[in-house]
Amino acid sequence: MSRLLIIGCGGVAQVAITKCCQNSEVFTEICIASRTVSKCEALKEKLEKNTTTKITTAKVDADNVDELVALIESYKPEAVLNLALPYQDLTIMDACLKTKVNYIDTANYEPEDTEDPEWKAIYEKRCKEAGFSAYFDYSWQWAYQDRFKEANILGLLGTGFDPGVTSVFTAYAKKHYFDTIESVDILDCNGGDHGYPFATNFNPEINLREVSAPGSYWEDGHWVEIPAMSIKREYDFPEVGMKDMYLLHHEEIESLAKNYPEIKRIRFFMTFGQSYLTHMKCLENVGMLRTDPVNFNGVDIVPIQFLKELLPDPATLGPRTVGKTNIGCIFKGKKDGKDKTIYIYNVCDHQECYKEVGSQAISYTTGVPAMIGAMMVVTGKWNGTGVFNVEEFDPDPYMEALNKWGLPWVVDENPAIVE
């Protein structure tokens, strides 16, 4: 019924691709394209025995718009699912515009080189005007709105878990549980243990950039920025237990604040163990998280990229990770004039994920919603022209698909709250 081009073949992509192959009625043909084509071929070989989805592979450098355009023109997909890195968002969006093909991703744009003077000037202006200093923000992709409309194509931004499912949870809470939502606390708890002193659960470079940045939250119509890891809370997560969690800046806060101006406060918390934080602080203090090139023996090396080479590949953590994740949103607001609080969440077991798709739960909780977002677009359940965040569409078919495709959710109408 549909043909999907998937770019990237890392931890998240491998889950999304496996899920597309379980959903052959919708995804009759897929092409896996990445920089290292051998990874695409190995995955094709593993999956094609058990699926009727026709899989092809291609080599592409997604930093190169012409290469992308040539691939899209030859494969002629209904949509492109971008599961490469946030660095490639804009080149892939440009290629989709040129070829008039729908675009889907899981993370918002950030530049690879944060010392690039052209980008930096725009970034510094945005920091002053918007009041938060994360390297990533939606302005770059929202700027495609008119061009996507003119090209009569849809861009679906951020269909991972967070952003993605957490944003759909917000739309669902508003549709079925509240007249007005006053506050949202997004909680991302990984109660898993991989046995390494230090490893990241998804791309180390993207992960470490995110968590070492200042935290921020949305309150009364503006951003409040705080030093990294300076707001800590404890929360007793269903099926996981008591964990320390820290307030971080996170991209769905930006889109939820725009799409739900009624919400007075939006915060995001992620759990971290002490060992992770100590390692990260040390790496930061010695300069290993730097994103600008450093010349070493005549070769330019970006410290955070070199660090990625030293750390375990997140795609290999599956067999050794045990425990569960609990990710969801606590909503406070009013229904029929009365105060109401609910927690909508999903619990995912690392070993169950590994048994099913060969990956740990972090890749699983992102890869499944990536497949579901692509399904919403190619089946036309979500349609329109322009650039959209997931919370702008009807949440019901997506929520139904989460239950069906491995991420069942719970609505707790009497949850503990975060002070």
- List residues binding ligand NDP (CB under 6 A): 8-13, 34-36, 39, 60-63, 83-86, 88, 106-107, 160-164, 202-203, 206, 314-315, 366
Minimum CB distance to ligand NDP, residue 257 (Å): 17
Minimum CB distance to ligand NDP, residue 64 (Å): 8
Minimum CB distance to ligand NDP, residue 84 (Å): 4
d(CA 369, CA 397): 12
Judged by beta carbon, residue 209 or residue 340, the one nearer ligand NDP is 209
**Taking Cα atoms as reference points, which of 159, 210, 408, 200 lies closest to residue 313?**
200
- Token pair in block for residue 206: 């993207």
Minimum CB distance to ligand NDP, residue 207 (Å): 8
Judged by beta carbon, residue 161 or residue 178, the one nearer ligand NDP is 161
d(CA 407, CA 220): 33
Minimum CB distance to ligand NDP, residue 43 (Å): 10
d(CA 203, CA 369): 18
Judged by beta carbon, residue 158 or residue 303, the one nearer ligand NDP is 158
Longest dimension (CA), the chain: 68
Burial string for 296-313 (b: 16+ CB within 10 Å, else e) reads: eeeeeebbbeebbeebee
d(CA 143, CA 126): 14
Minimum CB distance to ligand NDP, residue 336 (Å): 34
Judged by beta carbon, residue 53 or residue 203, the one nearer ligand NDP is 203
**Taking Cα atoms as reference points, which of 116, 121, 134, 67 lies closest to residue 268?**
134
- Token pair in block for residue 80: 């492109």
Judged by beta carbon, residue 319 or residue 380, the one nearer ligand NDP is 319
Q: What is the DSSP letter of 322?
A: B
Minimum CB distance to ligand NDP, residue 18 (Å): 13
Minimum CB distance to ligand NDP, residue 159 (Å): 8
Strand 27-34 with 2-7, pairing: parallel
Helix (H, G, I), strand (E, B) or coil at 319: helix
Minimum CB distance to ligand NDP, residue 211 (Å): 12
d(CA 388, CA 380): 14
Q: Are 268 and 418 in contact (CB under 8 A)?
A: no
Any bridge partners for residue 335, and if so which? 338
Q: What is the DSSP letter of 214?
A: P
Judged by beta carbon, residue 11 or residue 333, the one nearer ligand NDP is 11
d(CA 399, CA 165): 8
Judged by beta carbon, residue 333 or residue 369, the one nearer ligand NDP is 369
Judged by beta carbon, residue 35 or residue 264, the one nearer ligand NDP is 35
What percent helix, strand, coil does the chain show, rounded to 5?
Answer: 40, 25, 30
Residue at shortest CB range from ligand NDP: 10
Q: What is the DSSP letter of 323?
A: S
Judged by beta carbon, residue 253 or residue 315, the one nearer ligand NDP is 315
